[in-house]
């Protein structure tokens, strides 16, 4: 492969405090040099980015790839194709496959499939408990040896005692516990955020408190045990405040939110729109604003998508019966860029939330453009507008409340080890170029 | 206005005050038919009304069927479990099959909120919501407003108290919307577990914690049916305690305006929502509600057909 020289690139790397217009050279799959003027090998192909963003490959810490078991919704192949198209070079996939990823065999299967068909890097998250049943811890050591990067029962929240033990046992391996913090007794039967709109639609509500009491419980247990805790998909103002205080007290906790929680509110449910049904549910405007503030001040470390593909079987039905979740890999960049455009966060903060912090929290490669690191790179055109259509999606499912909406900003080139995995305009891989 | 704007009756929330007035006026003229020796007019001859009930109901279904028959329509009744999905057929499949038989109106009752709305996206027929989950029960509210207007001559300026499980009652939701749209002041009350938390307003009604405060100077009191399974959901400790502290007893009634109308959507739990002497008392219009239910549902059918033509 010929070396690639990116010129006129807006190079952003929060780890180096970089945000400048310059050049970046990729050679042998490695970032060889970064700077204003570089010594360039003769055979290098020059790509003038005309000021577009060049950032460390985005990493999505929370996706559902559905394979094995629900390949009619998504596969490792299609899910990672969607990821690549969304600017991601790596995804961490949740354990709620069928069978559940609760043993080294399943973890190895996922990694094996990923080697065969995945566009991006795939990091399996294993279940905390066998079968996600909340009764017996999985073999953390064995799973980590097989390639798991963290542990979570996600949508099936742990009881308090099991959460304590998971955090304690994880310490032996410096492993991360990802918590979907939800008090099931308070959310049971709930279909959307509890409040004015849930009454207007006659849908049973899920109070913000169902999340907040669980977040408080979990950070308290993290404080008790000293285990490493990551709170998934924070959706309420109260949760942000609880995490802010926990961090101030020195508790080892990190947190993520998803673009939908800072982009839209419970109003999206009006009309019994199943594409706006998710758990935790879309909240109020006050929550939305507090989530943005949490991202701005660093309380929320990560923007993850909680990409949750469902087919029309699960979504074209009564609201009550519809499955929770929306796809997110192909809308995360434009929605998150809105925060930069509105002046809430800097471009560097955005890259931190979508690349550097995820890599640090999971302890995986990437998140940096330092010379010598693998050339996992996303090139983003922050201005390009497009309408999200069925045809434009790479995911097998299309359960998105943003379908038909005009979005601004998208990945135009994604590289792994210097190799283009998404390059619709042929920027880095013109046909005349011999492989 | 002599024609509805809406093509379906999904809820009071979708109706304008003028549409509600039109429905009430139409019901008034149709009610006269019910007193004739031959209680039938051929307004809807050759038309088909399907009653699709996914939830057990005797009264509402009977009332709708009678209304359709009085207007000369052919009626088909289908009872199904909402869980028929488990047998592999989805609601949308079921409805498409029914649609293939070319009905003119589908009257649907369903335990899940919003289902009538979903239906309209798949069928050409007019849809009437006969109660969906904890969302709305528009025909009940319309017959309640009709009954009050019949007895008191107007709605505007009245104080209407609604007592019981406000949060989980589709009748409460539709009643609040209907009475407030027609200019009444609506006050709701019930046990704290059955009221929206920390909200002083619900759908335009004032929320008060004390039953007495709701009843005070009321022109109309609507007591909602208490579902016995609410005990098991820890919403109330016992039916007995509910009756004592939240039920309508003669001494409580003295706080209301003289001649206050007593209403109940039925079926009534005597001695729970209200004392027997209140239910059977001179100001109880509970049985009028039943008669008026047929007239109001006739009006809905007649107006939807008129709209369709
Ligand atoms: Zn989750």
Which entry of B31, B47, B51, B109 is annotated as an active-site residue?
B109
ipTM above 0.85, yes or no: yes
Instruction: Report the SS3 class of residue B221.
Output: strand
Structure confidence by residue, pLDDT tens digits, A73-124: 999 999 999 999 999 999 999 999 999 999 999 999 999 999 999 999 999 9
CA distances from B255 to A84, B212, B283 (A): 69, 7, 14
Instruction: Tell me the C-alpha distance between B240 and B236, whole Å.
Output: 10
Which residues in chain A are contacts of B112 at CB distance < 8 A?
Answer: 318-321
Interface test with A, best of B11, B14, B90, B114 (most A CBs within 10 A): B114
Instruction: Tell me the C-alpha distance between B172 and B188, whole Å.
Output: 9
Query: Lowest-confidence range among A206-210, A414-418, B199-203, B254-258?
Result: B199-203
Q: Which residue has the higher pLDDT, A40 or B114?
A: B114
- Concerning whether B291 is annotated as a catalytic residue, the answer is no
Interchain proximity A201–B114, CB inside 8 Å: yes
Checking if the pLDDT of B197 tops 90, the result is no
Structure confidence by residue, pLDDT tens digits, A358-409: 999 999 999 999 999 999 999 999 999 999 999 999 999 999 999 999 999 9
Checking if the pLDDT of B94 tops 80, the result is yes
Residue A61: which residues within 8 A CB-CB, separation 6 or more? A92, A178, A230, A256, A302, A304, A358, A361, A362
Structure confidence by residue, pLDDT tens digits, A311-362: 999 999 999 999 999 999 999 999 999 999 999 999 999 999 999 999 999 9
Cβ neighbourhood burial of A258 (10 Å; 0-12, 13-18, 19+): buried
A94 token code pair: 């949740």
Cβ neighbourhood burial of B82 (10 Å; 0-12, 13-18, 19+): middle
The beta-carbon neighbor of B134 closest among A204, A271, A272 is A204
Structure confidence by residue, pLDDT tens digits, A22-43: 999 999 999 999 999 888 888 9
Which residues in chain B are contacts of A201 at CB distance < 8 A?
Answer: 113-114, 135
Interface test with B, best of A193, A198, A201, A207 (most B CBs within 10 A): A201
Cβ–Cβ < 8 Å for A74, A65: yes
Instruction: Tell me the C-alpha distance between A99 and B87, whole Å.
Output: 24
Checking if the pLDDT of B189 tops 80, the result is yes
Confidence tier at B89 by pLDDT (50, 70, 90): confident
B161 token code pair: 């108290």
A188 touches B at CB < 8 Å? no
Cβ–Cβ < 8 Å for A140, A170: yes
Which residues in chain B are contacts of A319 at CB distance < 8 A?
Answer: 112-114, 118
Q: Which residue has the tokens 């009430």?
A: B24
Tell me the nearest-neighbour CA distance from A134 into chain B, angstroms. Answer: 25
Packing angle, helices A237-248 and A285-296, rounded to 10: 30
| Helix or strand holding residue B97 (H, E) | helix B91-99
CB burial of A154-165 (b: ≥16 within 10 Å; e: otherwise) equals bbbbbeeebbbb
From B138, B141, B147, select the one nearest B288 (Cα to Cα).
B147
The beta-carbon neighbor of A202 closest among B92, B118, B170 is B170
Interchain proximity A272–B90, CB inside 8 Å: no
Give percent of chain A above pLDDT 70: 99
Adjacent-strand bridge partners of A19: A12
B118 touches A at CB < 8 Å? yes
Cβ–Cβ < 8 Å for A177, A229: yes
pLDDT score for A432:
47
Cβ–Cβ < 8 Å for A101, A132: no
Checking if the pLDDT of A251 tops 90, the result is yes
Checking if the pLDDT of B84 tops 80, the result is no
| Average pLDDT of the residues in A421-426 | 94
B132 touches A at CB < 8 Å? yes
Interchain proximity A199–B114, CB inside 8 Å: no
What backbone phi and psi angles, to 5 degrees, belong to A47? -120, 115
Residue B29: which residues within 8 A CB-CB, separation 6 or more? none
Instruction: Tell me the C-alpha distance between B171 and A306, whole Å.
Output: 38
| Helix or strand holding residue A240 (H, E) | helix A237-248
Cβ–Cβ < 8 Å for A87, A62: no
DSSP track, B240-302: HHHHHHHSB-HHHHTTSPTT-EEE--S---BTTTB-HHHHTSTTB-HHHHHHHHHHHHHHHHH
Question: CA dihedral defined by A46, A52, A58, A60, rounded to 10 degrees?
Answer: -140
Q: For chains A and B, what is the number of CB pairs under 8 angstroms?
A: 56
B91 touches A at CB < 8 Å? yes
Interface test with B, best of A191, A199, A202 (most B CBs within 10 A): A202
Tell me the nearest-neighbour CA distance from A208 into chain B, angstroms. Answer: 12
Cβ–Cβ < 8 Å for B220, B161: yes
Q: Which residue has the tokens 């399943």?
A: A106
Q: Which residue has the higher pLDDT, A431 or B235?
A: B235
Checking if the pLDDT of A154 tops 70, the result is yes
From A58, A66, A64, select the one nearest A89 (Cα to Cα).
A58
Q: Is the dihedral of CA B269, B271, B276, B277 positive or negative?
A: negative
DSSP A263: H
B235 touches A at CB < 8 Å? no
Interchain proximity B92–A317, CB inside 8 Å: yes
Which entry of B60, B75, B147, B211 is annotated as an active-site residue?
B60
Tell me the nearest-neighbour CA distance from B35 into chain A, angstroms. Answer: 37
Packing angle, helices B138-152 and B59-70, rounded to 10: 70
How many angstroms does the Cα of residue A324 sit away from the middle of ligand 1? 10
CATH number of A4-54+373-422: 2.30.40.10
Residues 190-229 of A with CB under 8 A from B: 194, 196, 199-204, 207
- Concerning whether B109 is annotated as a catalytic residue, the answer is yes
Beta strands A53-56 and A4-13 are parallel
Give percent of chain A above pLDDT 90: 96
Cβ–Cβ < 8 Å for B286, B279: yes
Could you please state the CATH topology (level 3) that the domain comprising A58-362 is classified under.
Answer: TIM Barrel (3.20.20)
Instruction: Tell me the C-alpha distance between B163 and B161, whole Å.
Output: 6
B168 to chain A: closest CA residue: A202
pLDDT score for B88:
62
Domain range list for chain A: 4-54+373-422, 58-362
Adjacent-strand bridge partners of A254: A230
Residues of A with catalytic function: 306
Cβ–Cβ < 8 Å for B169, B195: no
DSSP track, A197-233: HHHHHT--EE-HHHHHHHHHHHHHHHHHH--EEEE-S
From B307, B299, B308, B303, select the one nearest B63 (Cα to Cα).
B299
A200 to chain B: closest CA residue: B203
pLDDT score for A434:
46
DSSP A266: G
Which residues in chain B are contacts of A203 at CB distance < 8 A?
Answer: 113-114, 133-135
Tell me the nearest-neighbour CA distance from A108 into chain B, angstroms. Answer: 35
A22 token code pair: 């310059």
Cβ neighbourhood burial of A185 (10 Å; 0-12, 13-18, 19+): exposed
**pTM here?**
0.94
From A281, A269, A287, A306, select the one nearest A190 (Cα to Cα).
A281
From A315, A217, A237, select the one nearest A280 (Cα to Cα).
A237
DSSP A236: -
Which residues in chain A are contacts of B82 at CB distance < 8 A?
Answer: 318
Residue B57: which residues within 8 A CB-CB, separation 6 or more? B109, B130, B131
How many angstroms does the Cα of residue A155 sit away from the middle of ligand 1? 4
Which residues in chain A are contacts of B202 at CB distance < 8 A?
Answer: 199
Q: Is the dihedral of CA B226, B228, B229, B234 positive or negative?
A: positive
């Amino acid at each position: 492969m010929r070396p690639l020289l990116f010129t006129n690139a807006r190079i952003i790397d929060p780890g180096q405090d970089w945000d400048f217009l310059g050049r970046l050279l990729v050679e042998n799959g490695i970032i060889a040099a970064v700077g204003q003027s570089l010594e360039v090998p003769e055979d290098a192909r020059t790509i003038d980015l005309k000021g577009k963003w060049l950032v460390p490959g985005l990493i999505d810490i929370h996706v559902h790839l559905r394979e094995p078991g629900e390949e009619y919704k998504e596969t490792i192949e299609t899910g990672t194709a969607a990821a690549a198209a969304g600017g991601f070079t790596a995804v961490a996939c949740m354990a709620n496959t069928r069978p559940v990823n609760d043993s080294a065999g399943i973890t190895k299967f996922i990694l094996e499939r990923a080697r065969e068909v995945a566009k991006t890097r795939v990091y399996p998250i294993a279940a905390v408990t066998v079968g996600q049943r909340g009764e017996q811890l999985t073999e953390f050591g064995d799973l980590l040896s097989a390639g798991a990067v963290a542990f979570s029962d996600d949508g099936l929240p742990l009881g308090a005692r099991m959460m304590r033990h998971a955090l304690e046992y994880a310490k032996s391996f410096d492993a991360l516990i990802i918590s979907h913090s939800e008090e099931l007794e308070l959310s049971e039967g709930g279909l959307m955020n509890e409040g004015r709109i849930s009454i207007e639609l006659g849908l049973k509500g899920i109070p913000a408190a169902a999340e907040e009491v669980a977040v408080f419980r979990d950070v308290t247990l993290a404080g008790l045990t000293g285990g490493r805790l990551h709170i998934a998909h924070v959706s309420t103002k109260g949760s942000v405040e609880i995490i802010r205080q926990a961090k101030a007290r020195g508790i080892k906790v990190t947190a993520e939110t998803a673009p939908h929680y800072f982009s839209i509110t419970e109003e999206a449910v009006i009309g019994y729109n199943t594409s706006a049904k998710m758990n935790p549910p879309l909240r109020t405007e006050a929550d939305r604003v507090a989530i943005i503030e949490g991202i701005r001040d660093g309380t929320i470390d990560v923007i993850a998508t909680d990409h949750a593909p469902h087919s029309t079987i699960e979504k074209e039905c009564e609201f009550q019966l519809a499955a929770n979740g929306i796809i997110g890999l192909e809308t995360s960049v434009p929605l998150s860029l809105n925060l930069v455009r509105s002046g809430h966060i800097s471009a560097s903060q955005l890259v931190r939330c979508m690349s550097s912090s995820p890599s640090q929290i999971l302890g995986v490669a990437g998140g940096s453009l330092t010379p010598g690191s693998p050339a996992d790179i996303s090139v983003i055109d922050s201005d390009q507008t497009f309408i999200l259509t069925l045809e434009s999606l790479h995911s097998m499912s299309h359960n998105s409340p943003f379908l038909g909406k005009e979005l601004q900003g998208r990945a135009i080139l994604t590289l792994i080890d210097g190799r283009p995995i998404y390059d619709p305009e042929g920027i880095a891989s013109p046909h005349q170029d011999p492989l | 206005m002599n024609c509805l704007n809406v093509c379906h009756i999904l809820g009071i929330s979708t109706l304008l005050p003028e549409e509600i007035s039109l429905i009430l006026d139409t019901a008034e003229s149709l009610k006269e038919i019910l007193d004739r020796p031959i209680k039938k007019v051929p307004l809807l001859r050759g038309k088909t009304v399907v009653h699709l009930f996914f939830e057990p109901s005797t009264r509402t279904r009977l009332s709708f069927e009678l209304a359709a028959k009085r207007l000369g329509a052919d009626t088909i009744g289908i009872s199904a479990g909402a869980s028929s999905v488990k047998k592999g057929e989805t609601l949308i499949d079921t409805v498409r099959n029914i649609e293939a038989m070319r009905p003119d109106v589908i009257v649907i009752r369903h335990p899940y909120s919003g289902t009538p709305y979903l239906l309209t996206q798949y069928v050409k027929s007019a849809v009437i919501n006969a109660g969906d989950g904890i969302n709305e029960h528009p025909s009940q509210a319309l017959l309640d407003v009709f009954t009050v207007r019949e007895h008191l001559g107007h709605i505007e300026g009245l104080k209407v108290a609604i007592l019981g499980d406000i949060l989980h009652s589709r009748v409460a939701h539709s009643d609040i919307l209907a009475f407030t749209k027609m200019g009444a002041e609506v006050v709701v009350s019930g046990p704290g577990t059955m009221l929206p938390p920390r909200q002083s307003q619900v759908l335009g009604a004032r929320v008060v914690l004390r039953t007495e405060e709701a009843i005070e100077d009321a022109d109309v009191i609507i007591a909602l049916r208490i579902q016995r399974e609410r005990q098991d959901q820890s919403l109330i400790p016992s039916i007995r305690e509910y009756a004592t502290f939240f039920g309508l007893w003669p001494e409580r009634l003295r706080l209301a305006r003289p001649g206050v109308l007593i209403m109940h959507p039925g079926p009534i739990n005597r001695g729970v929502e209200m004392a027997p002497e209140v239910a059977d008392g001179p100001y109880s219009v509970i049985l009028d509600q039943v008669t008026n239910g047929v007239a109001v549902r006739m009006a809905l059918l007649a107006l939807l057909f008129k709209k369709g033509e």
